Structure 1
Amino acid sequence: MDDHRGADFSVKPELTGELVVLRPFDLTRDASAIRGWLTDPEVARFTAGTPQTTPAPPWDEEAEIRMHEWYGSRGHQSDRLDLAVIDRASGRCVGEVVLNEWSPANRSCNFRIALAAAGRDRGLGSEAVRLTVGYGFEQLGLNRISLTVFDHNPRGRRAYEKVGFVLEGTRREVLRYGDGWVDDHDMAILASEWRRHRGCPGADA
């Protein structure tokens, strides 16, 4: 594609891999799964840095309304992309991938992913990252995609490294966690790197 063409986030694609399908949210099918990861202590630990010993807030009617308002509006956003991660083996929604914090002038986005327990440790996350990043570079014309990952999430960092994200720096002791402190790592991948290895670094060595 022409790298100088403006990104069109109004298009919400369906991206298919060997293990996962990424598609727009459908609350008639996905609400239970979304509710599950929003109340999952491990998801909170890796995304918000909440200690596992911290009890999840009660899921009440207000939380249910907020969930429906947020995920029900994802398909109408013109400056970001939110897609459900579907496990092809089970057909179930197991998480989400997001490109947000879009800077049109710099052709850059932030990336994040959240996976429920049913989507972990089977390669689904790595493939979901690869599909999203590929779409960002090849269809949206992005030049840079960045993310942050807490030091206590080595599994997530490995998944990002598999796709070609490069460590750019570490912000030391940014998170108070229990009785200690946790570093936060800045990682990014560039369009030029993606063109070289297509999300499989090492293959181009």
Structure 2
Amino acid sequence: MADFSHKPTLTGERVTLRPVTEDDVPALLPMFDDPEISRLTGNHTRFDEPALRRWYGSRGARDDRLDLAVVERASGLVVGEAVLNEWDPGNESCAFRICFTPAGIGRGLGTQATRLLVGHAFGTLGLHRVWLEVYAFNPRARRAYEKAGFRAEGVLRDALLWEGERVDATLMSALAPEWAAAGQAG
């Protein structure tokens, strides 16, 4: 099984996933500044541009995770990020997360980006399981994950405290044999 040191470019009909860099920060800033995106992702942290530049500038050197920018092919604009992280080589699994700027939301780009990166995890990296968590107040994301081939496994009760409200998270996964049987592709 390969590690995440190789940073590929994955191309689909509507999106290209490529290694994210600090130069992508201006395009990604709206993702961090939008209160609704922060709520849907459960992000309590506020970031400033210099910190984000350091973070994204260091992603290429990491061999334990894969951070890719989502580029809309029609416009050439960076509209989000897709990430494989929390790699567990002994169990051939990792976590997946994806997030879009407001301009990239609700246009079907996430389903293709998800299929491209999860397909890479199974087909190239040789992983068996890719998992994620989605909060109960984000049904649109859950539907997109299901459309991309993820299945619900269970509920993490009261996993998030958001503005005084405790929110459940659904644990979802995709497994390599199911992915292959379904013929998933980007």
TM-score, length-normalised on structure 1?
A: 0.85
| 2:20 aligned residue | 25
- Contact 2:2 2:126 survives alignment (8 Å): yes
Query: Are residue 40 (structure 1) and residue 39 (structure 2) matched?
Result: no
Structure 2: which amino acid aligns with 1:8? D
| 2:62 aligned residue | 77
Structure 2: which amino acid aligns with 1:7? A
- Taking only aligned residues, the RMSD between alpha carbons, in angstroms, comes to 1.7
| 1:193 aligned residue | 178
- Contact 2:17 2:113 survives alignment (8 Å): yes
Structure 2: which amino acid aligns with 1:19? R
Structure 2: which amino acid aligns with 1:94? V
Q: Between the two proteins, what is the percent identity of the paired residues?
A: 51
- Contact 2:21 2:60 survives alignment (8 Å): no
Shift in alpha-carbon separation, 1:131–1:101, aligned structure 2, 3 A: same
- Contact 1:20 1:87 survives alignment (8 Å): yes
| 1:8 aligned residue | 3
Of the three residues 143, 146, 149, the one matched with 1:161 is: 146
User: How many equivalent pairs are there?
Assistant: 185
CA distance in 2, matches of 1:176, 1:40: 18
Name structure 1 gaps, 5 residues minimum. 1-5, 51-55, 201-205
Shift in alpha-carbon separation, 1:25–1:49, aligned structure 2, 3 A: closer
CA distance in 1, matches of 2:132, 2:164: 26
Name structure 2 gaps, 5 residues minimum. none
Query: Are residue 86 (structure 1) and residue 71 (structure 2) matched?
Result: yes
| 1:66 aligned residue | 51
